[in-house]
Amino acid sequence: MGGTSSQPCGAGIKRDPIRSFSIREGANILPKEIDPYMFPSKKKSIKSMFSVEGAKKVGKAISKFFLFNGIPFNAADSGPYYQSMIDIIAKVGPGIKGPTGYQIGNAYMEEEVQELEVYISTLKAKWLVYGSTIMCDDWSSRTRKPIINFMVYCDKSMIYLSSVDITNMPKTTYYIFSLMDKIVEEVGEENIVQVVTDNEASFKAVGMLLMEKRKQFFLVSLCYSLY
């Protein structure tokens, strides 16, 4: 089927069910086990004092590393790996030697690439089951280069496919259509439900061309912006 849709893009939030327990179950639980912070003990207070002092030492050591190497401060607030790194170091214990720059850039990076490839493969396997959404948007990089990004959304997960630098390229409908058509071939028409672009006139025209070529089940949605 062909057509356009203007519904906003969004994803639902899965909430974990709240477990309830009976009065009989609660009778066998000590008050401090229900909420240890509500019934603090002297042992807990002493441990908390050491935790505060330890956190200050960790904070100072990490800050020195950031300042000495000129690492942006907001790197500590981006992504889940900062805290997990601290937790693993604390779990392993003192005396552990950190990896060298060569190890990070070679062995460990290769492991990360392999893990990411496996993860992407599991997401791609869902395309045929749930269908996918091709998402594209043009924007300017920090160096003012015009770029078109292509992503695939499926089952609350998104995969970055590619970016095309269109500097000195004619931003015509047929040129953008050729780029989009290659992406459709790469993902597989049978795996695609819809295409989401920005609201620019050239992208609207591309959507019409795509629907004309793939009339069976191609639906194009138009959003004002993906970012």
Two structure tokens written together for 217? 């089940």
Average per-residue pLDDT for the chain: 77
Indicate if the pLDDT at residue 26 is higher than 90: no
The confidence score (pLDDT) of residue 98 equals 92
- 62, 113, 133 from 70: Cα distances, Å: 12, 26, 39
Residue 185 · residue 160 · CB < 8 Å: no
pLDDT digits (tens, 9 = 90+) for 164-201: 888 888 778 888 889 988 999 999 988 988 888 877 77
The confidence score (pLDDT) of residue 169 equals 82
At residue 69, the 3 state secondary structure works out as helix
pTM over 0.85? The answer is no
Indicate if the pLDDT at residue 141 is higher than 90: no
pLDDT band at 118 (very low <50, low <70, confident <90, very high): very high
Strands (DSSP E) found in the chain: 3-5, 132-140, 146-154, 157-165, 192-197, 219-222
The confidence score (pLDDT) of residue 27 equals 40
Tell me how far apart the alpha carbons of residues 207 and 201 are, in angstroms, rounded to a whole number: 10
Region 60-87: what's the mean pLDDT?
92
The confidence score (pLDDT) of residue 21 equals 38
Region 111-125: what's the mean pLDDT?
92
